[in-house]
Structure 1
Amino acid sequence: MNYERQPYRRCGRSGLRLPAISLGLWHNFGADKPLDGQRAIIRKALDLGITHFDIADRYGPPFGAAESAFGAVFRQDLRGLRDEIVVTTKGRNPMWDGPYGTGNNRKHLLATLDRSLQRLGLDFVDIFYLHRDDDETSLEEQAGTLDHIVRSGRALYVGVSNFSPERTAQVSRMLRGLGTPLLVHQPPYSLLNRGIEQSLLGVLDQEGAGCVVYSPLAQGLLTDRYLDGIPADSRAAEGRFLTPDRVTQEVLAFVRALGAIAGARGQSVAQLALAWALRDPRVTSVLVGASGPAQLEANVAAVDRLDFTADELAAIDAAAKEAGITA
């Protein structure tokens, strides 16, 4: 474990610190990829000071496969490092047929988390998230279940993902009243999706919760991958979490402008985008995926230049406006 490779940031007002760049297992982990390749990515993550591994019950394919893959690697390589890593998972997603196979009701959340723990081969996860809000389950029941999950020893901390600012504030107050504070929120955030700046970051700051963001590279749009067309093996070509209609001339013009700014900083577009997402101290960590160890190493190099001048930030905003990017 290389703790010197990157900075660790305090998660809200808790005592927990997370690496600036963490590994998400949303993509490239599952039964459709060789386990040795997934193992190599996780081992490289440790070499790069990544102690935080973010998973969900639905990640795969098939559902649960990312947790099973991580569990297999844990048994081979990580068992002696359990006290040095942070493992998270999420619940809420449709996972099996019938009335109890989905939702934020207590029946489903406890069952899906127990299944996740079995796949992971762990007695507990460090953070358990509600993956999304559930308008069919009262917020009181959702908060009460999260409190029970911590008190039953299934998780050390709890968080929410994709909740509105208003519902985040409400559930945070409920959890604080129960004695189980909200640790963290996990929203999307990137140069192409700046919505959390409007109010969510302020809510999290006020509530003392951290912010771990996903899709900081906008599913690969904030790289040079699409500048010469849509590659046949890309997510956009497959329509997998990114559709071809999002690869617009406006986005490509913005990415080209970012390339010039990044080049002057000695960074790639991806490294610039990650550093930009970390410029706000209220952002605890950014989640990145990786198709292999080399890509992960390149992404982590973003931490070598996290500072921005006022002129650089102004140039980034100007490039967005000139390209017609309003997100």
Structure 2
Amino acid sequence: MTYRRAGHSGVRLPAVSLGLWHNFGDTVPLEAQRAVLRRAFDRGVTHFDLANNYGPPYGSAERNFGHLFAQDFRPYRDELFIASKAGYDMWSGPYGNGGSRKHLLASLDQSLRRTGLAYVDVFYSHRYDPGTPVEETMGALNTAVRSGRALYAGISNYPPEQYREAVTILRELGTPVLLNQARYSILDRTPEDGLLDAVGDTRTSLIAYSPLAQGLLTNRYLSGEVPVGSRMSVGHFLKHEALTGAKLERLRTLAELAGRRGQSLAQLAISWVLRDPRVVSVIIGASSVIQLDQNLDALLGEPLSQEELAEVDALSR
């Protein structure tokens, strides 16, 4: 495993982290989850990324992780960097989502109970909430760190201007802030519209989720068919309309480029996101040990050449 330093800090994170968004809820057998977590840790993946509402149902990913942590990982707690988040929909009623102090701290306490952890390594404000003053949200993260429930603060899904403001407030409070978590892939280059600059200017790091664009940047859909059991066949987050004819042709051309490099399309996509030194890690999901190993092997590839980068750039834009 390759490790990268997170921002202007002493923390090093694996270049590839494991996200527990889709494959660790109650719809997946616990033994399958255990196998993926064990294999990831054996290969040097020390960072596991959670949130309060990961599942399905909400909370089940943290609960299942807590069960496996108690059985397998408790002796290795100091070799793990575990994240949780709050800010999106979690429970009904007026305090079940958003950026309020009430929601964030109540949610963090629930997350600690579900996981059985004494603290998380980083606690994120999961989204920018225009209905809550940024000072209030950052004050809640400051309390989470100062109370010992988290070691670091993180920001996720904030626009560049609000991100800069949030980092400024946290540093004025003396709260260590490491990461901005954002969606970033060959097919979604939104962070290049100011967010990567904000990360660089504030001496923090971007940690990228959905580097495979919910599975579009894999070999799974290159035939134009939708495999049974795939994320697109379920349609929760990846819709059929995402696979247009023009996009399919671009994906096939990217796959040809990957093949010339001796990589799969997914491995190329991971290598591409990691090309930028402001990106500390990519968060991947994995439904099996085989899939996990294939994605981690992206780190074995050679750096992209300038010619290859130009080819990807033309296709992605």
- TM class by shorter chain equals over 0.9
Aligned match for 2:295, one of 287, 296, 299: 299
Superposed displacement of residue 302, structure 1: 0.2
SS of residue paired to 2:17 = strand
Aligned match for 2:62, one of 57, 67, 72: 67
Aligned length: 316
Structure 1: runs of 5 or more not aligned: 1-5
Give the whole-Å Cα distance in 2 for the aligned partners of 1:211 and 1:77: 30
Q: Is the 8 A contact 1:230 1:237 kept in 2?
A: yes
Aligned match for 1:233, one of 222, 229, 244: 229
Aligned match for 2:31, one of 28, 36, 40: 36
Superposed displacement of residue 160, structure 1: 0.8
Root mean square deviation, CA, Å: 0.9
SS of residue paired to 2:279 = coil
Structure 2: runs of 5 or more not aligned: none
Name the amino acid aligned to 1:71: G
Q: Could you tell me the TM-score, scaled by structure 1's length? A: 0.95
Name the amino acid aligned to 1:64: G
Superposed displacement of residue 236, structure 1: 1.2
Moved more, 46-55 or 101-110: 101-110
Q: Is the 8 A contact 1:51 1:86 kept in 2?
A: yes
Give the whole-Å Cα distance in 2 for the aligned partners of 1:70 and 1:101: 22
Aligned match for 1:197, one of 167, 192, 212: 192
Superposed displacement of residue 306, structure 1: 4.5
Q: Deviations over 1:172-224 (max 9, x none)?
A: 00111000132100000000001111211111111011111000000000011
SS of residue paired to 1:284 = strand
Moved more, 51-60 or 224-233: 224-233
Give the whole-Å Cα distance in 2 for the aligned partners of 1:250 and 1:214: 24
SS of residue paired to 1:137 = coil
Quick one: structure 1 residues 281 and 232, their matched pair in 2 at CA, closer, same or farther if it must change by over 3 Å?
A: same
Question: Which aligned segments of 4 or more residues in structure 1 are displaced greater than 4 angstroms?
Answer: none
Give the whole-Å Cα distance in 2 for the aligned partners of 1:191 and 1:317: 8
Aligned match for 1:169, one of 146, 164, 168: 164
SS of residue paired to 2:155 = strand
Aligned match for 1:127, one of 113, 122, 127: 122
Q: Deviations over 1:114-161 (max 9, x none)?
A: 000000000000000011011111011011111111000010001111
Calculate percent identity across the aligned residue pairs.
52
Q: Is the 8 A contact 1:276 1:306 kept in 2?
A: no
SS of residue paired to 1:285 = strand
What is aligned with 2:71? 76
Superposed displacement of residue 247, structure 1: 0.7
Q: Is the 8 A contact 1:159 1:182 kept in 2?
A: yes
Aligned match for 1:20, one of 15, 26, 38: 15
Give the whole-Å Cα distance in 1 for the aligned partners of 2:40 and 2:205: 22
Give the whole-Å Cα distance in 1 for the aligned partners of 2:92 and 2:313: 46
Give the whole-Å Cα distance in 1 for the aligned partners of 2:45 and 2:247: 30
